[in-house]
Structure 1
Amino acid sequence: MDRIITVDIPEVNTETRPARRRGRPASPAPPAAEQRVEAVERALALLEAFADGTKMLMLAELSARAGLYPSTALRLAGSLIRFGYLVRGSDGTYRLGPTPFRLGGLYRAGFNLADQVRPALTRLVERTGETGGFYVREGQRRICLFREPSPRPIRLHIEEGAAMPLDRGASAHVLMAFTDGTLAVHDAAREVGHAVSIGERDPEIAAVAAPVFGRDGHFLGAIGVSGPVVRLGAVEAETIAPLVVAEARLLSRLLGA
């Protein structure tokens, strides 16, 4: 009778893993901010095309602002439409969809500031007649978290959630001054407790802003007013500055500073 011989075959792990030299530790994963997915960044670039407040864009404009080929922009826009980030009108124009608005509400709610900030802005607008805004720093941009429009027919118009640069504007100087700003304008803002800008971001716009703090002196953001230079010149801005500073201090106390 033939004898059957059995041989134990060790289980082979078919998962592919990169070879690593013995004795050398595995390379650590890069920080989250350095991990990138280019397709996601291109899709986000389409959304950033509306960051200046533009309501509607044709595909050619959208792709040009995002730095993409129209064919690439069209494919990415399709995915953004499916998830509610974009809406395409019957005339072929694109506009932001409901999802950014919903996420923006969640973003603002995360700060838990609205109950105190909105009344403060209302008081500032009543006392100055100019548009009030509360700004926070996000990376290398400032975000208008809350705003209260001026009742005057000629006024500064800015949307909540609008992103603006950090290198010019009164609120930008305050945000930089109380984070990591080292320029002379930041030193001045820290020294006097407020910042004034005349025609920096826009030659026709002036602004005054002051810092707002929370518990344990934690810096939260900048509150201020903005308006046309013809109404808010250098003299008027310095007159309004004490009102802005006083409101910033009151708001800081209400927020636990």
Structure 2
Amino acid sequence: MDNHSGVGVVDKTAAILSALEKGPATLAELVTSTHLARPTVHRLALALEHHHLVGRDASGAFVLGDRFAQLAASVGEDRLVSAALPVLTTLRDRTGESSQLYRPHGDQRICIAAVDRPVGLRDSIPVGTTMTMTAGSAAQVLLAWAEPERMHTALARAVFSAADLDRVRSRGFAESAGEREQGVSSVSAPVWGTAGTVIAAVSISGPIERLTSHPAGEHADAVMDAARQLSDVLRRTEH
């Protein structure tokens, strides 16, 4: 394969990123593997780091940056949405409650798919609705595995704590009662993308009178099953 596009800076940048695909590398190792001049590698690596396309590990070596995980999540979103409706419908039928799928959207979260309970009192969230990342079980799930800076920024204003997010990570789900809206309970679980990051949260929500103040006791297994199904869809369609 011809690695030369005729645009020098792009070819050099691609060479650095290709080298980092193999794992962490020091500046000297990047120079050796790319056959580029040390000042060029240093300048481009720092520029890529500025844009989060390159990062550093605990030893200071260069690694691929978290921007790639974000881009992978965006690529996977179409597959995720197309797979979501049958999974959310099954979840709705299994629990008897409205079901939703949320993804991060800046400092908020956005509903990208939803299936409502057909009759009776329900929590209806239209697709496209943006909601807070500081309250609710879906917010807890999306923050529990988020990068530290994002997590700490949200926790400064959140109704839940860092200890609550620790529990979410250990249990694999979150529950809330009256956090986001008075009288509403919810249960959420993470959807994992192919890059090993949480890219979405599957939820059910409904009136606290029906779901109780501890809805996970009855519904956590169903919500986690739905989240696993969507994670499996992304893994199967990775290529």
Letter aligned with residue 82 of structure 2: D
In the other structure, the counterpart of 1:130 is 97
Contact 1:147 1:160 in 2 (8 A): yes
Give 1:69-108 correspondences, 5 Å limit: none
| Aligned residue number for residue 193 of structure 1 | 172
The answer to whether structure 1 residue 222 and structure 2 residue 189 are counterparts is no
Cα distance in structure 1, aligned partners of 2:109 and 2:203: 13
- Residue 253 of structure 1: CA displacement? 1.2
Tell whether the 8 Å contact from 1:116 to 1:255 is kept in structure 2 after alignment: no
Instruction: Specify the structure having the higher radius of gyration (Cα).
Output: 1
* Amino acid paired to 1:212: V
SS of the residue 1:200 aligns to: coil
Matched, 1:237 2:216: yes
From 163, 181, 184, the counterpart of 1:184: 163
Q: Distance in 2 between matches of 1:238 and 1:195?
A: 11
Q: Give the TM-score of the pair, scaled to structure 1.
A: 0.55
Structure 1 position 167 matched with structure 2 position 134: yes
1:178, 1:241 → 2: CA distance?
18
| Unmatched runs of 5 consecutive residues or more in structure 2 | 1-49, 52-73, 153-161
Displacement after TM superposition at 1:114 (Å): 2.1
Secondary structure class of the residue paired with 1:113: helix
Q: CA deviation at 1:134?
A: 0.3
- The one of 118, 121, 139 equivalent to 1:151 is 118
Q: How many residues align?
A: 154
Structure 1: runs of 5 or more not aligned:
1-30, 33-106
Alignment partners' CA distance in 2, 1:133 and 1:208:
10
Classify the secondary structure of the residue corresponding to 1:201.
coil
Alpha-carbon separation, structure 1, partners of 2:112 and 2:135: 18
How far the C-alpha of 1:169 sits from its partner, in A, is 0.2
1:209-229 CA distances to partner (integer Å, 9 max, x unpaired)?
000012242322000100000
Whether the 8 Å contact between 2:145 and 2:197 is mirrored in structure 1 is no
Following superposition, the deviation at residue 235 of structure 1 comes to: 4.3
| Secondary structure, aligned partner of 1:184 | helix
1:240, CA displacement in angstroms?
A: 0.4
Give yes or no for contact 2:76–2:193 (8 Å, CA) kept in 1.
no
Larger CA deviation: 129-138 vs 107-116: 107-116
| Contact 1:196 1:207 (8 Å CA) reproduced | yes
Structure in which a larger fraction of residues adopt helix: 2
Give the 3 Å change call, closer, same or farther, for CA 210–108 of structure 1 in structure 2. same
| Structure 1 residues 189 and 153: alpha-carbon distance in aligned structure 2, compared to 1, 3 A threshold | same
- Which has the bigger relative contact order, CA under 8 A and spacing at least 6? 2
CA root-mean-square deviation: 2.4
For residues 32-47 of structure 1, what are the structure 2 equivalents within 5 Å?
Answer: none
* AA partner of residue 88 (structure 2): L
Q: Tell me if structure 1 keeps the 8 A contact 2:97–2:206.
A: yes
Deviation at 1:115, TM superposition (A): 2.1
Letter in 1 for 2:133: L
Q: Distance in 2 between matches of 1:138 and 1:194?
A: 20
1:153 Cα offset (Å): 1.8
Residues 185 and 215 in structure 2, CA contact (< 8 A), matched pair in contact too: no
